Structure 1
Amino acid sequence: MSILVIGEALIDIVSTNGAPDRYAPGGAPANVALGLGRLGDDVEFLTDVGDDFHGGFLLAHLRESQVDILTSPRGATSTALARLSEDGSAEYEFQLRWDPDSSLLGSSAHSILHFGSIAAFLSPGSAVIDRLLDDAAEPLVSFDPNIRPSIIGSHEEALPRFEALARRVDVLKLSDVDADWLYPDLSEDAQITRLLDLGPSLVAMTRGGDGAILATASARVTAAAAQVDVTDTIGAGDTFMVSLIHDLHAQEAALSDLSTAELMNLGEHAAALAAITVSREGADLPWAADLTN
């Protein structure tokens, strides 16, 4: 069965001091779908793009990575202006629309349902995600909130929405920056405990160069970041998510039964994939062939 990814696809306009702006396909869920396709997974992507040049560019880019796209192109494609600092980190400004056509989904079941980022919070498409979760027959559901405070509203508005979604998933991946915004008064350890208490069987928290923490109710590990020369960090977290989904897709054991060694293997593999992406310019996620080089 295929993996279903739901969420935004957009054009990243990358701005760096002293250099011309460059345009690149982006959107966290689009990156996840693309990364899964590049690793050879059968993936469908429900999204919302325009019928303009940018939309055509996005569709061609995703199809080149073997993604089956479910969309009804119309209007203008969403954009994100990413301003890169000297250390390679990015800040974003968005022009967005999120209104996917869920009638394009067939009746066949999927092995995994993944959703995330802006699409989980932005109306009217967020209601589509709710309906699909209501009807979900997938054995595994994953969520990456990829918090963008300038888009999703105030903390008072966004936290209840985040927690309502987190209660409905099996795998929750987020960054330490996301966690600090959601739970600023909690320590890192307490944040993870709080997230597990919401109901996910597996929580993964990425921490940039400090590695990642993976936790279940019975095990908790810290996987080191792979050593690499960083070009920029665009797509690093999305690559980590891709790796988790890809590996869990082949995992037979229940998430709650994962051993410490199995959690560490998941984290180390994800860190290795993310290292490939950050060594490249833009969200250029690994292909299967990169894993054998």
Structure 2
Amino acid sequence: MSILVVGEALIDIVSTTGSPDRYAPGGAPANVALGLGRLGSEVELLTDVGDDFHGGFILAHLRESNVRVHVRPTGSTSTARALLSADGSAEYEFSLRWAPDASLVDGATWTAIHFGSIAAFLSPGAETVDSLLQRGRDSSALLSLDPNIRPTIIGDHGPASARFETLASRVDVVKLSDVDADWLYPGLSTESQVDRIIRLGARLVALTCGSDGALLSTASARVRTQAHSVEVADTIGAGDSFMASLVHDLQNPRSRIEDMDEDELRRLGESASRRAAVTVARAGADLPWAREEGP
């Protein structure tokens, strides 16, 4: 059985001072689906794109990476302009819509469902997320969330934080960045931020901290892993690569998530960090293929 990813697919317009704009397929959930397909997972994506050139470009890109896409293309494809700074980090400006056709996946079941980013917050598609989340809970699928917070899109802090906590209380795995966590829980330490999400009900929380590595935690075990040292091209897709790695590796865990010891968490985090390092070493959301990991 396969993994379902639910969320936006869009065109990243990458702007760097002194260079022409670069166009590339993107969207955090679409990147996670692409990463899973490249790692060898059987993966499907429920998304929303236009019937324009950009939509066709996105669909071809995903299918080349072994992603089965569920979509009814119409209208214009969403875009995200990524403004790159000198250190490779990106800020985004969005032109969005999110209204997937849930009837395209009626009757299906999956071993895992991943969702997040703008799609988890933006109506009318957020209601589709809720419905599929309930279907996943009913079928005991592994459920994962990456909020990938975009403050200019998801609304006021209070309602958006409440929405995040509602979703986090219903899933098994939450992955978020330190930037996400600081926006959700300003003033709390990294450890306290993770503790709060664990108390909501998530069985595993992974908090990424860029070049400072990552913190992975269950209710009974916690580890910090180091980031791999690479020359950074840009950070686009790094978190999505980390997320795809987690979902991929959790398809065949050695033990239940809540029973993982520190060694198991460390292996999980180191694998994700290694794959994320491949992504940041090259331009755009160019996530690694399984063949790049060696024998």
TM-score, normalization by structure 1: 0.99
Q: How does 1:78-227 map to 2 (within 5 A)?
A: 78-136=78-136, 137-227=139-229
The offset of 1:251, in angstroms, is 1.1
Check the 8 A contact 1:203/1:215 in 2, yes or no.
Answer: yes
What percent of counterpart residues are identical? 65
CA distance in 2, matches of 1:15, 1:119: 24
Structure 2 equivalent of residue 22 of structure 1: 22
CA distance in 1, matches of 2:131, 2:212: 37
Structure 1 unmatched ranges of 5 or more: none
The offset of 1:188, in angstroms, is 1.1
The offset of 1:139, in angstroms, is 2.7
CA distance in 2, matches of 1:253, 1:112: 16
CA distance in 2, matches of 1:21, 1:139: 40
The offset of 1:164, in angstroms, is 0.4
Amino acid at match of 2:36: L
Partner SS state of residue 165, structure 1: helix
CA distance in 2, matches of 1:174, 1:180: 10
The offset of 1:133, in angstroms, is 1.4
1:256 aligns with 2:265: no
CA distance in 1, matches of 2:141, 2:102: 20
Amino acid at match of 1:36: L
Q: Which whole-Å deviations, capped at 9, do the CAs of 1:270-290 have from their partners, x for residues lacking one? A: 000000000001000001111
Q: Which whole-Å deviations, capped at 9, do the CAs of 1:113-170 have from their partners, x for residues lacking one? A: 0001000000000000111112221431000000000000010120100000000000
Check the 8 A contact 1:89/1:232 in 2, yes or no.
Answer: yes
Partner SS state of residue 62, structure 1: helix
Structure 2 unmatched ranges of 5 or more: none
Partner SS state of residue 159, structure 2: helix
1:278 aligns with 2:254: no
Partner SS state of residue 249, structure 1: coil
Q: Which whole-Å deviations, capped at 9, do the CAs of 1:61-96 have from their partners, x for residues lacking one? A: 000001000000000000000000000000000000
Structure 2 equivalent of residue 44 of structure 1: 44
CA distance in 2, matches of 1:180, 1:108: 37
CA distance in 1, matches of 2:285, 2:195: 31
Deviating more after overlay: 185-194 vs 29-38 = 185-194
Check the 8 A contact 1:110/1:138 in 2, yes or no.
Answer: no
Partner SS state of residue 230, structure 2: coil
Give the superposed CA RMSD. 0.8
CA distance in 2, matches of 1:59, 1:41: 18
The offset of 1:253, in angstroms, is 1.4
CA distance in 1, matches of 2:223, 2:158: 31
Deviating more after overlay: 107-116 vs 61-70 = 107-116
Check the 8 A contact 1:109/1:138 in 2, yes or no.
Answer: no
Partner SS state of residue 41, structure 2: coil
Deviating more after overlay: 106-115 vs 125-134 = 106-115
CA distance in 2, matches of 1:67, 1:73: 16
Deviating more after overlay: 282-291 vs 131-140 = 131-140
TM-score, normalization by structure 2: 0.98
The offset of 1:250, in angstroms, is 1.4
The offset of 1:106, in angstroms, is 4.0
CA distance in 2, matches of 1:39, 1:185: 37
CA distance in 2, matches of 1:132, 1:245: 17
Structure 2 equivalent of residue 231 of structure 1: 233
Q: Which whole-Å deviations, capped at 9, do the CAs of 1:205-245 have from their partners, x for residues lacking one? A: 00000000000000010000011111100000000001101
CA distance in 2, matches of 1:198, 1:264: 23
Partner SS state of residue 283, structure 1: coil
Partner SS state of residue 48, structure 1: coil
Partner SS state of residue 73, structure 1: coil
CA distance in 2, matches of 1:129, 1:213: 27
